[in-house]
Amino acid sequence: MRVPVIAGNWKMHKSVAESATFARELLPSIAAYESVERIVAPTFLALTAVAEAMRGSGVRVSAQDAHFEPQGAYTSQVSAAMLKGIASHAIVGHSECRAWLGETDERVNLKVKAALSSDLTPIVAVGENLQQYEASETFDVVGGQVRAALQDVEAADMCRVILAYEPVWAIGTGRNASAEIARNVIGDCVRATLAELYGAGISQQVRILYGGSVKPDNMSQYMAEQEIDGALVGGASLDVEDFTALVAIAAREKAAGSNS
């Protein structure tokens, strides 16, 4: 059974002090759910403070991005090499980075490889926009993003990669892909692409998350799907009660699935 993952992307929210306080408030609420890999992704400024607050707890801390060069004249950027020892994960290819920062498939691939080289687990986001979705191009777009992101990534490293399907049209819009849509894309496109690239065995080991307006009131629907291994969460990760509910639902539904 694949270990479920609930990753909270705080985006550009919370000061350093607020992040540390929130981490200390969150930890007791989610500490008992050891069957779920719990990850929080604060801003770069707050990474060290949150990592210290979570130290020894089993809750992992992720960066929201990571540059592919170890150092250099890249103003405003933070490299994967610099994150080593602070964060355990790095989100790469998030739709907002693709849209606002001009992130290309080629750069996502470089970041995946840089993260792996720096002992970080890349959480690789893929997803189609509304125009592509309405044109029935989802499988072509998402499958192409998966292939591009994993170019030259060795099969032996795939156990350290997490993928996240986040339909752009469902992020921060209040809309969400149904559990059926998410299951079909994750199973018949993302996991099928992994099988083509690395074989069925590895494709069944890689954890694939859903992201897109995930909330406590729709979480059970996603977690009941065997193909969906967890969630990359935005707004709901900023509230202790909501995030705890998501972790609890993942623990419950995946335990039930393993016993059925």
Report, as residue numbers or ranges, the catalytic residues: 94, 166
**Which residues 6+ apart lie within 8 Å of 162 measured at CB?**
5, 7, 89, 121, 122, 123, 124, 206, 207, 208, 209
Supply 140's token pair: 């072509």
> What is the C-alpha to C-alpha distance for residues 61 and 51, in angstroms, rounded to an integer?
6
Between CA 103 and CA 115, with CA 109 as vertex, the angle to 5 degrees is 105
Per-residue H/E/C for 82-131: HHECCECEEEECCHHHHHHCCCCHHHHHHHHHHHHHCCCEEEEEECCCHH
